[in-house]
Amino acid sequence: MAKELVFGHQSPDTDAIVAAKAYSYLQNQLGFDTEAVALGNPNEETQFVLNYFDEPMPRIIEKAGSEVDAVMLVDHNEAQQSVSDIKDLTVTHVVDHHRIANFETSMPLNYRAEPVGCTSTILTKMFDENKVEIPVQLAGLMLSAIISDTLLLKSPTTTDDDKVAVKALAEIADIDYETYGLEELKAGTNLASKTEAELIEQDAKSFEMGGKQIRIDQINTVDLDEVFARQDKLEAAMAADAKAQGYDLFLVLVTNILNSDSRMLVWGEPKDVVEKAFNTTLTNNTASLPGVVSRKKQVVPPLQSAF
């Protein structure tokens, strides 16, 4: 069987990196020849997680076609979030927990999606279904991915399946997940050391809605004011990135992980559609979004509807 690469989305978060490692491990146990790779550098949270469990970061690639003909996607399916030459490759497997859009194949494939909080939750079930044991370190990584995606099981994307998976993985990894989880989330909020260009890019994803190119980033913090003290420079970085990449609209969702509130920063047009989507009025390009912590569940769908 020809080798395949397994990877998550660009601007990888912890789940994108971990799910690629976990799915590659599972598929290799089942007889496939795969390698987990990544489409970008790890963020500080992911770096903390990999260090904590003493696991290597996958090799970073930009294109896959020079190495393989076929690939497996985790934690994404939309072409603009994937490897740059995705249109030239055959996608044989997908494991994901997002909506399906801008995804097309010419052949039947394996596709497993469930509306749960994290890809690693689905993978935890798939290890069980295939009767493959999860190694201790990998269980720690998968636990960390679920903590990251669900903000320690507090995000509205959290399902019972995520809770069950967290308990099972914490047992295998022998971790007190609540203490560890807060430490992990805080590791991702060390923002002072980052440039504005890094902050608006580190967890950004692209979407196409109503013919417009839209970029949505999320920044986790323990202090919203600390981030908005840098608003002018953040807006300049958003404008520069948007011009370079051709984005019409750029949203940055800044989320306080301690109390689950967010404030949004908006660059570009159409701003009236953003105001309609969130039933709010922008003041100095910002708006408070109390209780909004999930891009996937609380930002993309209302924006999609408004467009």
Distance of CA 268 to the CA centre of its chain: 23
H/E run at residue 117: none
Do residues 255 and 293 touch, judged by C-beta distance below 8 A?
Answer: yes
Q: How far is the CB of 296 from a second copy (least distance, A)?
A: 7
Cα radius of gyration (the chain): 19
H/E run at residue 262: strand 261-268
Strands 90-96 and 4-7: unpaired
Q: Which is nearer to a second copy, 158 or 221 (CB)?
A: 158
Q: Which is nearer to a second copy, 190 or 305 (CB)?
A: 305
Do residues 200 and 234 touch, judged by C-beta distance below 8 A?
Answer: yes
Q: Which residues pair with 289 in a beta bridge?
A: 262
3-class SS at 95? strand
3-class SS at 87? helix
Q: How far is the CB of 28 from a second copy (least distance, A)?
A: 19
Check the CA dihedral 84-90-95-100 and report its sign: positive
Q: Which residues contact 183 (CB under 8 A, 6 or more apart)?
A: 48
Q: How far is the CB of 109 from a second copy (least distance, A)?
A: 6
Q: How far is the CB of 70 from a second copy (least distance, A)?
A: 12
Q: Binding residues for a second copy, per CB under 8 A?
A: 97-115, 129, 296-297, 300-301, 304-305
Q: How far is the CB of 197 from a second copy (least distance, A)?
A: 30
Q: Which is nearer to a second copy, 110 or 195 (CB)?
A: 110
Q: Which is nearer to a second copy, 32 or 180 (CB)?
A: 32
Q: How far is the CB of 99 from a second copy (least distance, A)?
A: 5
Alpha-carbon distance of 70 to 105, in angstroms, equals 12
Q: Which is nearer to a second copy, 106 or 283 (CB)?
A: 106
Q: Which is nearer to a second copy, 19 or 300 (CB)?
A: 300
Phi and psi at residue 158, to the nearest 5°:
-65, 135
Q: Which is nearer to a second copy, 108 or 290 (CB)?
A: 108
Q: How far is the CB of 299 from a second copy (least distance, A)?
A: 12
